[in-house]
Structure formats: structure tokens, C-alpha cells
Amino acid sequence: MQNNENKLMKIQYEYDNQEYIIINKCPHCNLDIHPTVENRYNFENNTYKISTLSLSCPSCKRDYFIINHFDNVGAPNERFIMSIPKYSFNENALVKNTSQKFQQLYMQSINSELLGHLDLAFFGYVKSLEILIKEIAIFQHPESEDVILFSNLNTCLEQFHSTNMHLFSKKLLEILKNDYLYYYKTPDFHTSSELVKDCINYFLLYLEMLLKTYSLNNQAKTEKPLKS
């Protein structure tokens, strides 16, 4: 599971005696950074006050914008409007191992959470996990593709990921068994998104290990000396 310091999150950032909310990772290279302010732009009318920071990543040297608003917001994190470009995994090797369907849904879920759309993010993370788990199962058992695609998530886990089942908490299994029921009956359902995200991170690492193992096995086969 990931440590908090490696996770994407909103953080406080002070510039010119004003506190802003930014994301802790560069939207280009995905690294955890402390960006440099290149410029600031303020926009204001009778209703709204918006401030945009032009930031530069000390790692990849690329620029991006973070937009905050300061018009009667509640919690500080609600100041965050968006980043330009949106956060992505263009440089993330683990995510590159997955399909476009997984990448698109996972990225939409992450950006939904950043924008405060917690309901969409919750269901998006659960479905992202389902796609990832089924893709790995198909990779390992291509002859069972139809069975895997038509099975529900818990059945897929029990039949094709039984060696990983001990990693799932009772609460996580409850979510995966019926995500709508959990959403309907749990007022603070969005806090459980962290469990689902940790599980996604685990299976991304698991997929990388599988791909490396298959690559090494294939390499060993091709390099096997011919019998004399």
C-alpha cells in the first residue's frame, strides 16, 4: 500500500501572504514536488474572486496553472478549482501497462475527486479496480476471457485471484460486493475511496511483477541452448 507522502492530494501553498490550495504532484511528470511560482493572475467581479498561479516544476521544468477561488468558500480545500493541464499519468510506467479503458476511467475518477465530485469518484474508482482486476485475470487466463468478462467482481477475485484474497479487508469486500448498497447506506462512503485506491495501487504493482516475470521467462526460453 502507498504511504501518504506518495499519494496525490491537495496541499496548502503560501505565496505573497496568501494561502492557496495546490496538488502535491506535477500534472506533467507525476513527481511529488515543491513548485516555483512564475506569475500570478487575479480576476474579480461583483460575485467572484479568482486567482491563478503559474507554477513551474523543478523536476521536468514544465509550467502549469493552478486556479483557486476565494468567494465565500467553506473549507480551504474548496478553494481549488482545477489545474491546467489536468493531472495525468503520462510519465507513470505502472499505469502505462494498462489498457486505455482503465487509464481513461481512472484518470476521470482522480480528477473528479480533485474537483470535489466525490460520488462520481467513488464509483469510478470501484469500476477502475474491476477493469484492472479483470484485465490481469485475462492476461493470466486468456482461455477464460468470456467467463471473466461476464463475472461479477467478487466472483472474479475468488476464481482468478484467490492468492490475493487475504489482502482484502472485510470492509473492502463489502464495497466490492455491492458498491451501490454501500454507497446508499454509508453516509461517509467517500472516505472508503482510499481503500479502493490502495487496492488499485497494489494491483498495478502486481501487474508490473507479472509482466516482468513473463518477460524473463520468455527470454530464458529464447536463450536456451540447443541440445547437441
Q: Residue 227: inside a domain, yes or no?
A: no
The answer to whether residue 223 scores a pLDDT higher than 70 is no
* 144 in the same domain as 80: no
Residue 130 lies in a domain: yes
Regarding whether 67 and 104 lie in a shared domain, the answer is no
Cα 79 from Cα 68, distance rounded (Å): 5
The enclosing H or E element of 22 equals strand 18-23
106 and 218 fall within a common domain: yes
Does residue 77 contact residue 58 with C-beta atoms inside 8 Å?
no
Looking at the 3D structure of the chain, how many domains does it have?
2
Residues 69 and 135 placed together within one structural domain of the fold: no
Kindly give the interhelix angle for 118-140 and 193-222, rounded to the nearest 10 degrees. 20
**Residue 192 domain boundaries:** 92-222
pLDDT at 5 over 50: no
In a domain, 146, yes or no: yes
Same domain, 107 and 77: no
Closest CA relative to residue 56, chosen from 82, 87, 35: 35
Point out the domain boundary residue: 59, 90, 121. Answer: 90
Picking from 74, 90, 106, the residue at the C-terminal end of a domain is 90
Kindly report, residue by residue over 88-141, the tens digit of the pLDDT: 876 566 788 899 999 999 999 999 999 989 999 999 999 999 999 999 999 999
Over the chain, what is the mean pLDDT?
Answer: 87
Same domain, 167 and 215: yes
The CA-based angle 145-150-151, given to 5 degrees, is: 100
Domain match, 207 and 119 both: yes
Q: Which of the residue ranges 34-48, 63-77, 187-201 would you say has the lowest mean pLDDT?
A: 63-77
Q: Tell whether 133 and 75 lie within a shared domain.
A: no
For residue 164, tell me if it sits in a domain.
yes
- pLDDT category of residue 225 using cuts at 50, 70 and 90: low
Strand pairing class (80-84; 36-44): unpaired
pLDDT-based confidence at residue 168 (cuts at 50, 70, 90)? confident
User: Among candidates 11, 32, 36, which has minimal Cα distance to 92?
Assistant: 32
